[in-house]
């Protein structure tokens, strides 16, 4: 799983996008995702399966998008006799 940034209509009105964080229940080990503001902790969260409080936040990779129109070849090293 990965953390994804969700862009909603609120983002267009000046609010920041809210990321999706992954948590694991410390009691039943159920893994789930939560959409929450950056900087919010697990104090208000409970496991969606067993109801145990304060699940553990998981570290994971993130997804990003390229908003430009660059082609994949523009990210590679230049070609030519100097670089090969």
Q: Whole-angstrom Cα distance, residue 1 to residue 14?
A: 28
28 neighbors 39 (Cβ within 8 angstroms): no
* DSSP code string of 8-55: -HHHHTTPPPEEEEEEE-TTT--EEEEE--TT--STT-B-TTT--BSP
pLDDT tens by residue, 42-66: 999 999 999 999 999 998 766 677 7
In the chain, what are the domains? 1-63 (2.20.28)
Q: Whole-angstrom Cα distance, residue 18 to residue 9?
A: 11
Region 4-16: what's the mean pLDDT?
Answer: 51
- Please state the pTM of the whole predicted model: 0.55
């Amino acid at each position: 799983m990965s953390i994804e940034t969700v862009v909603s209509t609120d983002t267009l009105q000046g609010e920041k996008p809210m990321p999706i964080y992954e948590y694991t229940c410390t009691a039943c080990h159920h893994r789930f995702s939560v959409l929450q503001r950056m900087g919010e902790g697990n104090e208000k969260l409970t496991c969606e399966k067993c109801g145990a409080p304060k699940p553990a936040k998981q570290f994971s990779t993130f997804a990003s998008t390229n908003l430009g129109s660059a082609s994949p070849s523009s990210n590679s090293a230049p070609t030519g006799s100097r670089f090969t």
